[in-house]
């Protein structure tokens, strides 16, 4: 974590000595922390590193911060981790996105599967994607990451395969999956496929394995989709990433 508990994401690019106006989510974040002018905080724009900053003004509808210096600190995993997440309902999907970001996921592809019950199209899909991206930003502010993982436009599973070419695929398979210790080490990164409520169908698991995905089991208990996502990422990061 950074040396201060207050971290704010701002659209960049940013530069040292710049005075930046804050509004919207960033302003609400500062107000919730009850900061006063003169307080120090950390600002990042997603382009790498972070800025030490000082709160100059804080009004009801706007605030300003001065960027004091840039620090090249990063908290990214050594390999890219892409999550193909079967779209779940409401808070379950939010929790999966939030905790995946905290655990080092570098990209999230929401996926429509056979058991997906959420129906999204047009404007509703755009709003949900925007919402999930904001969840990812908030998670980065909390956990100390300076690069915000992209949350892609939701796609069908058939279209998702092309999004992860070149990565070692892992699919959650409670029935036939092996333990994490049996997975081959990834050469370029990992793509993890997790189903929604109800899991993946046998056909979808077979389609994944036919494309070279390795089946992963997580023990004898049945996990909810959001729990399964977190557990799988944790064991994969412990085995191949930077989770000590």
Task: Check: CB of residue 58 under 8 Å from CB of residue 31.
Answer: yes
Sites in the chain below the pLDDT cut of 70: 1-4
The predicted structure's pLDDT at residue 2: 42
Closest by CA to 237, choosing from 99, 73, 109, 105, is 105
- The CATH 3.40.1280.10 domain(s) of the chain lie at 81-240
Task: Please state the pTM of the whole predicted model.
Answer: 0.92
227: burial class by Cβ within 10 Å (0-12, 13-18, 19+)? middle
**CATH match of 81-240 with 3.40.1280.10:** yes
The predicted structure's pLDDT at residue 60: 83
Q: Which two tokens stand for residue 32?
A: 């919730």
The predicted structure's pLDDT at residue 26: 85
Domain 7-71: top CATH class: mainly beta
For residues 10 and 21, give the distance between their C-alpha atoms in angstroms, rounded to a whole number.
Answer: 10
Sign of CA dihedral 23, 26, 28, 30: negative
Beta strands in 81-164 (DSSP E): 81-86, 107-112, 150-151, 155-156
The predicted structure's pLDDT at residue 32: 83
Within a 10 A sphere around the Cβ of 31, how many other Cβ atoms? 14
Task: Check: CB of residue 54 under 8 Å from CB of residue 71.
Answer: no
The predicted structure's pLDDT at residue 3: 46
Task: Check: CB of residue 9 under 8 Å from CB of residue 26.
Answer: yes
Helix, strand, coil percentages in the chain from 3-state DSSP, rounded to 5: 35, 25, 45
- The CATH 2.40.240.20 domain(s) of the chain lie at 7-71
For residues 244 and 241, give the distance between their C-alpha atoms in angstroms, rounded to a whole number.
Answer: 8
């Amino acid at each position: 974590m950074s040396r201060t508990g207050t971290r704010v994401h701002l659209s960049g690019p940013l530069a040292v000595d710049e005075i930046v106006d804050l509004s919207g989510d960033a302003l609400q974040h500062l107000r919730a922390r009850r900061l006063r002018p003169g307080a120090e905080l950390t600002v990042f724009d997603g382009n790498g590193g972070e800025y030490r900053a000082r709160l100059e003004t804080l009004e009801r509808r706007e605030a300003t911060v001065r960027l004091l210096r840039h620090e090249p600190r990063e908290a990214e995993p050594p390999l890219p981790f892409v999550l193909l997440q079967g779209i779940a309902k409401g808070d379950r999907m939010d929790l999966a996105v939030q905790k995946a970001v905290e655990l080092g996921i570098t990209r999230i592809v929401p996926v429509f599967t056979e058991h997906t019950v959420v129906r999204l199209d047009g404007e509703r899909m755009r709003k949900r994607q925007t919402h999930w991206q904001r969840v990812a930003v908030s998670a980065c502010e909390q956990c100390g990451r300076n690069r915000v993982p992209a949350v892609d436009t939701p796609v069908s599973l058939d279209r998702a395969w092309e999004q992860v070419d070149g990565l070692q695929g892992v699919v959650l398979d409670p029935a036939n999956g092996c333990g994490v210790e049996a997975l081959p080490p990834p050469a370029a990164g990992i793509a993890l496929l997790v189903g929604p409520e109800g899991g993946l169908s046998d056909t979808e698991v077979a389609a994944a394995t036919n494309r070279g995905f390795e089946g992963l089991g997580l023990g004898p208990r049945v996990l909810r989709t959001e729990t399964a996502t977190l557990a799988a990422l944790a064991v994969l990061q412990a085995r191949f990433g930077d989770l000590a």
